[in-house]
Each structure stands twice: as C-alpha cells, then as structure tokens.
Amino acid sequence: MKREKITPPGAYPAVRLRRNRVDAWTRRLVAENRLSVDDLIWPVFIQAENGAVAIESMPGVERLGPDRLIDALGPAMDLKIPAVALFPYIDPALKTPDGAEAVNPDNLVCRAIRSVKAAYPDLGIICDAALDPFNSQGHDGILRDGAILNDETVEILCRQSLAQAQAGCDIIAPSDMMDGRVGAIRTELDAQGFQDVRILSYAAKYASAFYGPFRDAIGSSAALAGDKKTYQMDPANVQEALREVALDLAEGADMVMVKPGMPYLDIIRAVKEAFGAPTFAYQVSGEYAMLKAAAAQGWLDNDRVVMESLLAFKRAGADGILTYMAPEAAARITAG
Ligand code: PBG
C-alpha cells in the first residue's frame, strides 16, 4: 500500500486538509480503509454439557453447549460472517499429559464441526491445532520433564488436524508454535486426500499476557504450569516474526496470523508488506476484556471503540480479524 504524497510545506492557505472533513459524505468519499463483514471471523467457545456458561473475564461471551450452539450461530449466518473458529472447554477428566483426547475423532470439537456443517454448510469452520484444551498442564504441546517436546507434538498435531478435517473442518489453524508443524500437517492432509483444507497459521504468536481470559474460557488457566515462552515469541522481536511467517508460507500455509492484535499492529504491517499473503489479526481475549470493562464503567463509548479498534487492523494491513466482537460489529456495519 502506498502512502499519500505529503503536501510541500507552505501550501497553506491554498491547501486546507480540513476541507475534506467538512461533511459526512465527503469523509465517506475520501476514506482510505473500510471495515466489512467479510473481514470478520468469530471465535466461539463450546462445551460438552447442554446450556451456556458466562465467561466472567469476557463480559457478554458465553461457552455454548450442543443444544445452544446452532441457534447462537444463527445471527452470524444472517449477518453473513464468513467463518467461525471453535474453541473447546474439555472436561478435566479427559485431559492428559499427552493431550490424547485431541485426536479422538468423536471429541467435542469434531462433534461440533459435524453439527455446525450439517446446519450451515456455507459457514467456514476454523479449528486450532494445539493441545492446550486437552493437555492436563494447559500447554500447547507434550510436556516431559519440564520441557515441551517439539517433534512428538508435531506428530499428534497432524493426527488432530486429520481428525478435524475428516469431521468437516475447512481451515486448520496451528496455534502451537512448534517448529515444522505447518509442513507436517500439510503433508498429512494431502496424503489423506484433504488438499483443499486450508491452513491458517498462527505464524507470529507472541508469549502474551493478553491471553488470560481465553485460558479462563477454555479452562486451561488454573493448571497452566509456568509460561509458554519456550515456544511462543518474545514480544521484543520483529525480525523473528518475519522469519516465522516466511517458514510457514514456505511450508504451505495459505494464510498467516499475527497474535495478539492491537499491541502488535506494527507486526501486521511488516508481515503484510513483506509477503503480501492473506494476513489475519487476532483481537484476543485480553483486548476484548479491556475494552468491555472500560465500556461497562462508562469510561469508553462501546460502539465507537469496537469499530475503531477493528478499523485499526485494516489500516495496519490486515485482510481479516478474529474478534469476539464480530456479531456486534457485523450488525453495526449492516445497519450502516
Ligand atoms: C491456544 C490458543 C490461545 C489463544 C488461541 N489459541 C491461548 C494460548 O496460546 O495460551 C488465545 C486467544 C485469546 O486470548 O483470545 N494455543
């Protein structure tokens, strides 16, 4: 994207930039970026038990049981949100150190994929490849003697991805940050006849404190032993993000993601400019919690900060945004 030419100094009073801001229709005409419903991906939390459970640290977000999921996605369908990302809360009794439940073809995620596909064949379904919902320590990989095992984890991620593809998942999103997982998953999917299942790589995923409320939602925070700094990226780094993205694209990623969102707009810009590949931003749980908490106090205007925070991703170069605010943003865009 090219920046507008800077007007030479001294051009005032002939040049007055405020002229183009005089009225709403002019502002609309000259707007450089626009948020569309087509840009939105809605992350949705699911649980095995019927009913819905409110997530305390994410006001307005609920974990949905099988009896509620399809109805809850109705508005997203009506508003034409292109895709949802499903995140499971797994019964603690099913969690193990190797996260084996992740590869069970009849686990909560696979059951949900089948029911959503049956109800809404045209809605895109995205699922993580990562062990954290299934791992008893809340880690994304297999933990042994205090270390996360890379290659053993990649193997189980391939089986998890295959199970999800077989259930009807359209996009596998490896969110684990193991080395080599995109290529391994691509090879496995291709070998099993799933050439068209896409890979959205969490390519530049930082070891961030902004994921706290998400871990509450999927029930992994209480158990989390230590942090994820041996596999997620150091928030200090930019060049490393470009290397991560380069590798994932070379290994066959169709789309890449930067995560978290708002504190990492510089990374989105750098990735988009360097590769030009479909680039997504994840406005994560902690960003949602911040904005909603301030809005609930009356300190911020909810409707305006929601739209402004999402537009910022477009300006930074993102092609799309994973956001818990997708339904309210889509409703507002549609209303005009
Ligand atoms: C799991 C995963 C996380 C998120 C998405 N997938 C958390 C983590 O890495 O601990 C975070 C999303 C959010 O905070 O909204 N690999």
Å from CA of 89 to ligand 1 middle:
12
Distance CA 176, CA 248 (A): 13
Per-residue confidence (pLDDT) for residue 8, from 0 to 100: 67
CA neighbor of 152 nearest in space, from 103, 192, 201, 197: 103
Distance CA 143, CA 153 (A): 9
CB 51 within 8 A of CB 34: no
Distance CA 168, CA 116 (A): 9
Å from CA of 14 to ligand 1 middle:
52
Å from CA of 79 to ligand 1 middle:
26
Nearest CA to ligand 1 atom 14: 211
Q: Which atom of ligand 1 approaches the CA of 285 most closely?
A: 15
SS3 57: coil
Give pLDDT tens digits for 62-118. 999 999 999 999 999 999 999 999 999 999 999 999 999 999 999 999 999 999 999
CA neighbor of 138 nearest in space, from 223, 234, 39, 258: 223
Mean pLDDT of all residues belonging to the chain: 96
Q: Is 39 near ligand 1, meaning CB less than 6 Å away?
A: no
CA neighbor of 94 nearest in space, from 218, 260, 182: 218
Å from CA of 184 to ligand 1 middle:
21
Q: Is the pLDDT of residue 18 over 80?
A: yes
Q: Is 188 near ligand 1, meaning CB less than 6 Å away?
A: no
Give pLDDT tens digits for 213-264. 999 999 887 777 689 999 999 999 999 999 999 999 999 999 999 999 999 9
CA dihedral 77, 44, 64, 290 (to 10 degrees): -120
pTM for the structure as a whole: 0.95
- Which residue in the block uniquely carries the two structure tokens 């995205």? 126
Average pLDDT for residues 6-23, to the nearest whole number?
86
Per-residue confidence (pLDDT) for residue 1, from 0 to 100: 57
Distance CA 227, CA 94 (A): 22
Per-residue confidence (pLDDT) for residue 7, from 0 to 100: 63
Per-residue confidence (pLDDT) for residue 40, from 0 to 100: 98
Q: Is the pLDDT of residue 56 over 60?
A: yes
Ligand 1, pocket-test mutation among 89, 181, 214, 215, most atoms within 8 A of CB: 214
Nearest CA to ligand 1 atom 16: 175
Average pLDDT for residues 313-318, to the nearest whole number?
98
Q: Is 248 near ligand 1, meaning CB less than 6 Å away?
A: no
How many percent of the chain have pLDDT more than 90? 92
Q: Is 284 near ligand 1, meaning CB less than 6 Å away?
A: yes
Bridge pairing between strands 142-144 and 198-205: unpaired
Options 259, 272, 292, 314, the catalytic residue: 259
Whether 205 sits among the annotated catalytic residues: the reply is yes
Q: Is the pLDDT of residue 58 over 70?
A: yes
Q: Is the pLDDT of residue 2 over 70?
A: no
CA neighbor of 148 nearest in space, from 138, 158, 160: 138
Options 205, 228, 292, 314, the catalytic residue: 205
Whether 117 sits among the annotated catalytic residues: the reply is no
> Could you tell me which residues are beta bridge partners of residue 46?
64, 88
| DSSP code of residue 205 | E
Per-residue confidence (pLDDT) for residue 220, from 0 to 100: 86
Q: Which atom of ligand 1 approaches the CA of 211 most closely?
A: 14
Q: What domains can you pick out in the chain, each with its CATH number?
A: 34-335 (3.20.20.70)
Radius of gyration of the chain (CA): 21
